[in-house]
C-alpha cells in the first residue's frame, strides 16, 4: 500500500510540473510578480549595506532580476522535490545506492527535457537548455538531501536498534 501511495504522489507531482508548464508566459510571470511583491514587503523591513547596493540598480532592472531569480528557483525546487519522491519510490522497491542515483538522475533529466519541449508549444513560453540545467541541478540537490537524510538519520536508527550488527 505504501508503494502505491508514493507512486501516486509521484504522478501527482509530475502532473503539477506539467500543469505549471501549461500556463502562458504572462500568467506565469504574474504569479512570480505576486511573490515578488510579498518579498518586496519583507525587504522594506531590512536595512544595511545589502539594501544600499540593491537600491543602486534601476527599479525595472531590480524587479526583472528578482523575478528571474524567483522563476529559476521555482524550477529548481520542483525538480528537487521530484528527485526526493523518485528516491522514495526506488528505495521502497529496494533499489538503493549508486544504481538508484543513476536512475533518479535519468528520470529527472528526462522529464526536464520533456517539460522544456512541451513549453515550446505554450504561448509566451520558451524552451531553453539553461532551464533544463537548472531543473537538473535542482534534482541533484534533491538527491543529496534525500541521501543525507536517509543515511544520517534512518540508518542511524537501524544501527541503534541492532539491525546492522
45 pLDDT higher than 80: no
Inform me whether the pLDDT recorded for 25 exceeds 90.
Answer: no
- Residue 35's SS3 state is helix
- Give me the pLDDT at residue 165, please: 38
- Per-residue pLDDT band for 163 (boundaries 50, 70, 90) equals very low
Within 10 angstroms of residue 162's Cβ, the number of other Cβ atoms is 7
* Residue 70 within any structural domain of the chain: yes
CB atoms within 10 A of CB 3: 11
Q: Can you give the pLDDT at residue 161?
A: 56
Q: Is the residue at 52 inside a domain?
A: yes
Q: What's the whole-number mean pLDDT along residues 131-153?
A: 94
Q: Is residue 113 part of a domain?
A: yes
Residue of 138 and 31 predicted with greater confidence: 138
* pLDDT value of position 59: 65
120: in domain? yes
Half-sphere exposure (Cβ direction) of 100: Cα atoms closer than 13 Å: 19
Contact 67, 125 (CB under 8 A): no
Instruction: Kindly state whether residue 146 falls inside one of the protein's structural domains.
Output: yes
- Residue 54 clears pLDDT 80, i.e. is over it: no
- pLDDT in the model for residue 97: 84
pLDDT score of 149 = 92
pLDDT digit string, tens, across residues 74-109 = 889 999 999 999 999 999 999 988 889 999 999 999
Average pLDDT over all residues of the chain:
82
- How many domains, the chain? 1
pLDDT band at 39 (very low <50, low <70, confident <90, very high): low
Give pLDDT, residue 55.
Answer: 63
Query: Is 165 among the domain residues?
Result: no
Please report the pLDDT score of residue 164 as a whole number: 41
Domain of residue 132, residue span: 2-160
- Of the candidates 127, 106, 109, 110, the one whose C-alpha atom is nearest the C-alpha of residue 118 is 127
Name which residue leads in pLDDT, 61 or 145.
145
Residue 143 included in any domain = yes
Amino acid at each position: 500500500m505504501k508503494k502505491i501511495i508514493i507512486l501516486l504522489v509521484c504522478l501527482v507531482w509530475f502532473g503539477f510540473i506539467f500543469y505549471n508548464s501549461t500556463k502562458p508566459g504572462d500568467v506565469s510571470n504574474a504569479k512570480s510578480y505576486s511573490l515578488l511583491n510579498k518579498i518586496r514587503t519583507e525587504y522594506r523591513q531590512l536595512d544595511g549595506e545589502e539594501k544600499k547596493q540593491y537600491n543602486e540598480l534601476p527599479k525595472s532592472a531590480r524587479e526583472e532580476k528578482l523575478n528571474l531569480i524567483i522563476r529559476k528557483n521555482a524550477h529548481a525546487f520542483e525538480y528537487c522535490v521530484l528527485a526526493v519522491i523518485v528516491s522514495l519510490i526506488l528505495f521502497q522497491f529496494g533499489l538503493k545506492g549508486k544504481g538508484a542515483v543513476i536512475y533518479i538522475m535519468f528520470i529527472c533529466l528526462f522529464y526536464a527535457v520533456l517539460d522544456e519541449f512541451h513549453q515550446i508549444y505554450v504561448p509566451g513560453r520558451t524552451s531553453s537548455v539553461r532551464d533544463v540545467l537548472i531543473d537538473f541541478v535542482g534534482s541533484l540537490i534533491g538527491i543529496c538531501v534525500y541521501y543525507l537524510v536517509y543515511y544520517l538519520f534512518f540508518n542511524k536508527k537501524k544501527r541503534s536498534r541492532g539491525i546492522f550488527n
